[in-house]
Amino acid sequence: MTIEIAPGALMPIALIFGLLVGSFLNVVIHRVPLGQSIVFPPSHCPECEAQIKPWDNIPILSFLWLRGKCRGCGTSISLRYPAVELLTGLLFAAVAWRFGPTWWTTTYCLFAAALVAAAMIDHDHQIIPDSISLGGLVASLLVVPAIQAHYGEVWLEALVRALIGALVGGGVLWFVAFLHARVSVAMGREFEHWPGEGEDIPRPGEADYWLWFPGLGLGDVKLLAMIGAVVGPAGVVDTILASSLVGLILGGAQAIARGALGRPFGFAPAIAIGTVAILFLPPFWLLRVL
């Protein structure tokens, strides 16, 4: 079955829907890391607290006719808001173009939205909320095998594949982080933020030994588990390779821009870009046989 829709209408609909979802993502990106509700209170100017009227809250257009300023106090609105809206809209349109009128378009649009939120929050706060990574993992394990079954695959096989994808995605990254921590300790390498001030290096009997690593957060591990559930075991290996490549490029560019190496930066933006690339690119490593 496909979703009935007039030919040619799918991409514009996806674009508009993406702009609206992007507007919602701005709220998520701003509020979720602060532990605030995403529904209440309604959007308001952070400067003068004035509630934003519905007609001043239209993706991109409002930013343009308000000339990037709050109607109440004239404070500049960050370009990031329309940028996130536009990015999400374009991603949705691209997904619709690639996957057509199928349930995969719906699924991958939501998937892309989760990646945008995770990347931006990680960029701002160096954390990835569990509600996105673990919430997304649970949702993916429910939805992805169900769609694959809908399109004729055996549901149980699809579920096992999603579970293996999650284990491979999270597992590979966890293993790299774990190994890096142990080798670093063995070589006597020191880190500014690991272990914390006055704390000892964790021992095998403590949970921290298995779950707390210098340089790489467990949030990335959980995010890649979620991604693995969506793209499967082979896809997630491609994704990790692509993300590492993007991470190297982003890290290098940041080092050049700031003139300093080794500043902490969230890895999720690289993971998000790598994952989106994998959704669109034909298999470019030999690992897509599974």
Positions touching Zn ion (CB under 5 A) are 45, 47-48, 70, 72-73, 75
Tell me whether residue 74 or residue 252 sits nearer to Zn ion (CB atom).
74
Tell me whether residue 57 or residue 244 sits nearer to Zn ion (CB atom).
57
Tell me whether residue 47 or residue 199 sits nearer to Zn ion (CB atom).
47
Cβ 71 to Zn ion, closest distance in Å? 7
Cβ 78 to Zn ion, closest distance in Å? 13
Tell me whether residue 73 or residue 160 sits nearer to Zn ion (CB atom).
73
Q: Cα 22–62–50 angle (5° rounding)?
A: 95
Cβ 64 to Zn ion, closest distance in Å? 17
Tell me whether residue 78 or residue 254 sits nearer to Zn ion (CB atom).
78
Both tokens assigned to 135: 């919430």
Tell me whether residue 47 or residue 130 sits nearer to Zn ion (CB atom).
47
Is residue 153 within 8 Å of 232, Cβ to Cβ? no
Cβ 201 to Zn ion, closest distance in Å? 48
Cβ 47 to Zn ion, closest distance in Å? 4
Tell me whether residue 43 or residue 184 sits nearer to Zn ion (CB atom).
43
DSSP state letters, the chain: ------TTTHHHHHHHHHHHHHHHHHHHHHHGGGT--SSSSPPB-TTT-PBPPGGG-STTHHHHHTTTB-TTT-PBPPTHHHHHHHHHHHHHHHHHHHH-SSHHHHHHHHHHHHHHHHHHHHHHHS---HHHHHHHHHHHHHHHHHHHHHTTS-HHHHHHHHHHHHHHHHHHHHHHHHHHHHHHHHTT---SSSSPTTPPPP-TTSHHHHH--SS--HHHHHHHHHHHHHHHHHHHHHHHHHHHHHHHHHHHHHHHHHT-S-----SHHHHHHHHHHHHHSPP-STTTT-
Cβ 49 to Zn ion, closest distance in Å? 7
Cβ 69 to Zn ion, closest distance in Å? 8
